[in-house]
């Protein structure tokens, strides 16, 4: 088992890679005002794993267990990605802020 050193690797356990089948980089959804001009407000960033979790569960209708197996993560990790992604999408809609996917 490798020994992680603070000076070299950073703190804590290294993150596990997630399998992202549909990676979208730099996709922007921006709200418009009545004149059709994009609103200038700070954007919200949706991570690729949050986008993939939302896509698998809500668009493709997979269960959380199936989606977690497809992404090669635990069900708890998938649930946290779903929860975080939902909050970010709702915040972008309610506060009329741009949503940037996969940055």
C-alpha 56: how far from its chain's center?
12
Q: What pLDDT, on the 0 to 100 scale, is given for residue 21?
A: 74
- Report the alpha-carbon distance of residue 69 to residue 42 in Å, rounded: 34
Residue owning tokens 């993939």: 52
Q: What pLDDT, on the 0 to 100 scale, is given for residue 95?
A: 94
Q: pLDDT tens across 1-30, in order? A: 455 455 555 677 777 777 677 767 778 889
Tell which residue, 2, 60, 32, 94, has the closest CA to residue 86.
94
Q: What pLDDT, on the 0 to 100 scale, is given for residue 1?
A: 47
Residue 51 has pLDDT above 80, yes or no: yes
19-28, 46-55, 81-90 — which one is most confidently predicted on average?
81-90
Q: pLDDT tens across 56-82, in order? A: 999 999 999 999 999 999 999 999 999
> What does pTM read for this prediction?
0.77
- Report the alpha-carbon distance of residue 17 to residue 28 in Å, rounded: 24
9 vs 6, 19, 97, CA distance in Å?
6, 23, 35
């Amino acid at each position: 088992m490798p020994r992680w050193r603070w000076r070299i690797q950073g703190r804590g356990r290294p993150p596990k890679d997630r399998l992202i089948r549909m990676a979208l980089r730099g996709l922007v959804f921006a709200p418009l005002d009545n004149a059709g001009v994009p609103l200038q407000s700070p954007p919200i960033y949706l991570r690729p794993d949050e986008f993939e979790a939302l896509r698998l569960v809500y668009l493709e209708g997979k269960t959380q267990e199936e989606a977690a197996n497809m992404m090669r993560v635990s069900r708890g990790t998938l649930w946290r990605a779903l929860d975080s992604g939902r909050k970010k999408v709702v915040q972008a809609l309610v506060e009329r802020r741009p949503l940037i996917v996969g940055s």
